[in-house]
Structure 1
């Protein structure tokens, strides 16, 4: 049985989702359903969604960061006072 789900997200994200769906020959509903299926899997291995190559590259650039953790914490504390 299918039911309707209403999501509140930024308009730009909706447009990106529609473009992605069209490019992949699917509906936004199909893509969301597939995503929910992956994240709700009972197997621990299946719950881990593999990062896209771009994400992996971005994570790699942070590994060599020279930012001191304490300096970063102080920065955030002063920013959000």
Structure 2
């Protein structure tokens, strides 16, 4: 079901939208519908796989609070 929607826009913007839509062979309404459809699409999580070593670390610190001081001590111990 299509319902009419009135938008109040600057005259120059409307003119640009009409030119843009004509070049693409679509109506301004179709462009607006496409735009809102894109806004409403749920973001899909990335499907790239992580290297095994990195994947094994995922979630290892979940729920733990690490203090900056502890991290600095670790770095000093490791590199000094």
Range of TM-score over shorter length: 0.5 to 0.7
Q: TM-score with structure 2 length normalisation?
A: 0.52
Alpha-carbon RMSD across the aligned residues, in angstroms, is 1.4
Q: What is the number of equivalent residue pairs in this alignment?
A: 45
Which deviations, in whole Å up to 9, do the C-alpha atoms of 1:24-62 show, x marking residues without a partner?
Answer: 1000000000000000112267xxxxxxxxxxxxxxxxx
> Counterpart of 2:16?
16
> Counterpart of 1:4?
4
Segments of 5+ residues of structure 1 without an aligned counterpart are: 46-81
Segments of 5+ residues of structure 2 without an aligned counterpart are: 46-80
Q: TM-score with structure 1 length normalisation?
A: 0.52
Query: Is 1:36 the counterpart of 2:36 in the alignment?
Result: yes
Deviating beyond 4 angstroms after TM superposition, the runs of 4 or more aligned structure 1 residues are none
* Higher radius of gyration, 1 or 2: 2
Shift of 1:23: 0.6
